[in-house]
Structure 1
């Protein structure tokens, strides 16, 4: 949010900004995309600053959690802008890299591209833009840390497992994130940057190569600090750190480190016992991690049922709920007994999900990029796999190719 907009008394009302976008975005897009990419460098600094600020406002007028309300309506204009900024980036990379104006322009471009990735439908489009990933990878060799960071933040949302294995440098990706997190974790003035760095790390952690590097470069103590120390924001820090730790726990080394840390284990138990409705999200995340570290192994070794209450249990990401609910409704119409968590289980969530898996003849794995990115979904799929359940994979996202840990299915 540009700081000057906060002077406006109704700036927190998203609908007001939607009205502004309806008036400005198409006109701005038509003007901006009519300019040749190399003319961006010919503008005075004040004009470039205006373009960057206007882009920021038009792309990200309010917090990222609310962006979905504008993503569909303005999708086509956003895609046109992505293509034009990509062309500007291409022109930039042809200039002498040591020029100050080029450094400044490159940083502005990658920051702008990152803001586009916050719109999930636009992000899907960005993955199809020719040479965008290679250009961003080229930028990661820049000596300016800020440029590296934003390039990696974009790539974290765009790359798939194969990209990480073949064209990226997992060790460098990890080192950059850990360095910036270490430098910002105790600085209140850099809190927003710290939050975004954790989010970026969460994007990368489900890639197996990065996961190994994170453990090797000793990120676990930093994440434990984020969980157990009370000065950190419950949603923007503690919750994200718990989710990253859950993803890391599927590595045997990290699993052992976490189980042996008594401070962490005690704190997780406290969070699980927290009955404050305002912090239910923390309770759910902690319960899943505790279940993974303490209870899963014993339950997996228990007797497998011969008689099942359900024909099918549907494992899915709640961000894909619309299509998954349609699948459930059709299966029920076809006479199948189906279990699905439609309304988020109350109480001990993982215990309820484990019970559903144990009582189902088959587990339908609804695979998508969101499913793969979710450590909660991985926990469900992993448990079903270890129990020897019959897994039925189904791809519910166009052009999605399962990779990484989904290879177990």
Structure 2
């Protein structure tokens, strides 16, 4: 069809702007251009490039709403191929003509506008997403260091950045189920190469904290590349993340270490750069396990906490996440939320004792920050914190429930942002689900009549929130009063029964767990007890107990987060010939019936304790059912630093546990074997050889080696006492020999192996720790002695006498004066940076009431090696001035 008005093939720009273009006009113009300028690579002359550029400039003058009506055309394909070949030449020749640069500039502008304006970007796919075109862009990005070495290339660098931005917009706007999403994999690899290149580090280090704007190069590396990479959701995510993490964690810790000292000077450019750095950290969620025990990631956490305590940012937090300070605080808090899902990092976060930060942030004006603060509080509050301040915990729960109620009510509002509402409800339910592990919170939910809020609105929620609600209810039903209330509501029971048929595996099994707690567990227990009574009656008649034959020797109860250690323990025990029941395939826990069968048919149940285990409603069900069935329980600590409390502490009681976090794996497994032997009541002769154990009807196993009565070596019991310098030397100047002489001289021989690497200062520090938590320290020292000397116990009398002897030394005036001098010296010295094994802090703010901030202090901890001393950053709560946003403690 001819256009509505006649015009020259190459009309002047003025006439283009003045024309009233129709769809037919545009189509005719594109058809003519494609026909007269077909692209063939071997015919690419300067004249051809100039003519094509002129047409593209004319297209750029046409109103976009008209131009976009023809989203695909042969001329676009020719222009794309020309752009691809020019990019290849730029990469290989490192220079281009002015005509070629002019074409690239106008061609990229046309493509970018089409992507931005078209309602459905998939209509551009047929010509825009060409593998050779994407490869050309990726190749240029991968060699950006070399290309940037020439000044002339700055113009092309700008166009390359625009192309990356265009692809990013296109990718984000594609439907989630689009088949061509992985066409960009090569481009994402190139982006990752930019982020791990020396250029990224160089550009970041050169960024001034007070800079109000960025150079083009800084924007590309610090903003565009992280933004594009974090948008990737393709099938190859793991490959990209695996390549990125090894470089990213230490580099990001180092970069923050450089800039954190000038945090009070940070302007928008630096804040945006840090924000995008944290976005990259957040993007790789779920992949931190191999790095969780490394020092760099802990330094990174320290720096993030420093950001969260910076008053100049907190005072500028706004209700809407628009200003840079609000964005930064939000991304910092979101990053910690991601880290809290990693068990080892959660232990580190708890050790820092930083709940006061999250309490303060729970009162700012920005809703998303508040919700993330709730989540962090729910993860970091310890059982002792809940018990110590039940009123504050009750107020926290009230605020969470009130916000949840409002969010659920807003679901039905027409103009509501459904995606944002669902995201916020999921955060609130995550906070509740983490809190209900504490018995005090279960009771508080009943006091606040919140059970019906969770039950009645469950069906309105998306799958993730629905699963969290059901898992929370499953935990609450361990409270007998809550269970009684739910049993009496037929409508609720019917709703939960319906959810047992849900397509989602997590929802289905969470519903099953609730019904098991409410009905089936008690029924099963009655049957088991009846069967047990019949067996006992038969035994009495025969005057001899029958040996119980179990289907399994051991059941392993664990949380999926601890699977790596559990699988190793399982393999070790299986190699010994034990028949073991372990659920290897199900993240959300086994079917309750299968779990009950496993408990009842196993002689021993190993409880793999961790924070994740305690929070899991499925693990609680397994542990409590095994306890009520009176199975032989063997608790093990699956995460370094974990100590059982709450419901788990009650089940464990005074049982001896095996701490895999503090000892060699093989040694810990051998202790499990010994515990099995002890619980079976085997009598082992001192000189007997390995005792065969009938693991089942099919296998036999060697349980343990012969055990000798443990004794202290002669080194500690027959010491030559010459030159006793400790008697004429002040304690803080004692050498290691002086410490051992003192302990021997006071008949504290059992303390000598524990203290043999300590000097006088170390001895005093140990005493101070023992004063704070004597029972825990006694257990720890006793365990250390048992491990070192194969079962040798530390007599409680020796431990008590040790405290008494040191107490007399500490109370001497000389020692008190020395301690005071040391304290003054410590308080006046400044701390080193994390890359020097600590974190620096800015000058302290004048103290005001209510809020608190954390300042890092460093404490040197002597290792078991005589020549190795490591330094660990800890945090001390100090008064934090209250900003104008009225941040205050949750307990006020």
The TM-score, its normalising length taken from structure 1, stands at 0.83
Counterpart CA distance in 2 for 1:28 and 1:364 is 40
Q: How does 1:10-409 map to 2 (within 5 A)?
A: 10=184, 11-13=232-234, 14=237, 15-16=239-240, 26-37=250-261, 39-56=262-279, 58-61=280-283, 67-72=285-290, 76-92=295-311, 104=326, 109-129=332-352, 131-140=353-362, 147-166=369-388, 169-185=392-408, 186-187=410-411, 188=418, 189-227=420-458, 229=459, 231-234=460-463, 236-272=464-500, 274=501, 278-302=503-527, 303-305=530-532, 307-309=548-550, 310-344=552-586, 349-406=591-648, 407-409=650-652
- Contact 1:29/1:81 (8 A) holds in 2: yes
Deviation of the 1:19 alpha carbon: 5.1
- C-alpha deviations, 1:216-265, integer Å up to 9, x for none? 222211221343x2x4222x122111111000001122111211121221
Counterpart CA distance in 1 for 2:309 and 2:589 is 52
Counterpart CA distance in 1 for 2:370 and 2:252 is 29
- Determine helix, strand or coil for the equivalent of 1:361: strand
- Contact 2:509/2:588 (8 A) holds in 1: no
- C-alpha deviations, 1:41-86, integer Å up to 9, x for none? 4322454244224312x22116xxxx22355358654322211122
- Contact 1:304/1:358 (8 A) holds in 2: no
- Contact 1:141/1:148 (8 A) holds in 2: yes
CA 223–346 in structure 1, closer or farther in 2 if over 3 Å, else same:
closer
List runs of 5+ in structure 2 lacking aligned partners.
Answer: 1-167, 175-180, 185-231, 319-323, 412-417, 536-547, 653-892
CA 144–164 in structure 1, closer or farther in 2 if over 3 Å, else same:
farther
- C-alpha deviations, 1:105-132, integer Å up to 9, x for none? 7556434433432444433332333x52
CA 109–327 in structure 1, closer or farther in 2 if over 3 Å, else same:
closer
Counterpart CA distance in 2 for 1:347 and 1:178 is 27
Partner of 2:795: none
Counterpart CA distance in 1 for 2:647 and 2:266 is 47
- Contact 1:161/1:208 (8 A) holds in 2: no
- Contact 2:278/2:332 (8 A) holds in 1: no
Counterpart CA distance in 1 for 2:398 and 2:640 is 33
- C-alpha deviations, 1:326-352, integer Å up to 9, x for none? 223323333433322233499982112
Counterpart CA distance in 2 for 1:96 and 1:328 is 49
**28-37 or 184-193, which moves further after superposition?**
28-37
- Determine helix, strand or coil for the equivalent of 2:644: coil
Counterpart CA distance in 1 for 2:354 and 2:346 is 12
Determine which structure has greater relative contact order: mean sequence separation of CA pairs < 8 Å that are 6+ residues apart, divided by chain length: 1
Deviation of the 1:22 alpha carbon: 6.3
Counterpart CA distance in 2 for 1:312 and 1:100 is 54
Counterpart CA distance in 1 for 2:388 and 2:350 is 16
CA 48–254 in structure 1, closer or farther in 2 if over 3 Å, else same:
same
CA 6–60 in structure 1, closer or farther in 2 if over 3 Å, else same:
farther
Counterpart CA distance in 1 for 2:399 and 2:351 is 26
Deviation of the 1:198 alpha carbon: 0.9
Deviation of the 1:354 alpha carbon: 0.8
The TM-score, its normalising length taken from structure 2, stands at 0.40
CA 380–304 in structure 1, closer or farther in 2 if over 3 Å, else same:
farther
Deviation of the 1:152 alpha carbon: 2.6
Counterpart CA distance in 2 for 1:345 and 1:76 is 29
Partner of 2:675: none
Partner of 2:203: none
Q: Which has the larger radius of gyration?
A: 2
- Determine helix, strand or coil for the equivalent of 2:493: helix
- Contact 2:442/2:476 (8 A) holds in 1: yes
- Determine helix, strand or coil for the equivalent of 1:311: strand
- Determine helix, strand or coil for the equivalent of 1:343: coil
Deviation of the 1:402 alpha carbon: 0.4
Deviation of the 1:393 alpha carbon: 1.7
**175-184 or 162-171, which moves further after superposition?**
162-171
Deviation of the 1:144 alpha carbon: 6.7
Counterpart CA distance in 1 for 2:245 and 2:557 is 37
CA 333–347 in structure 1, closer or farther in 2 if over 3 Å, else same:
closer
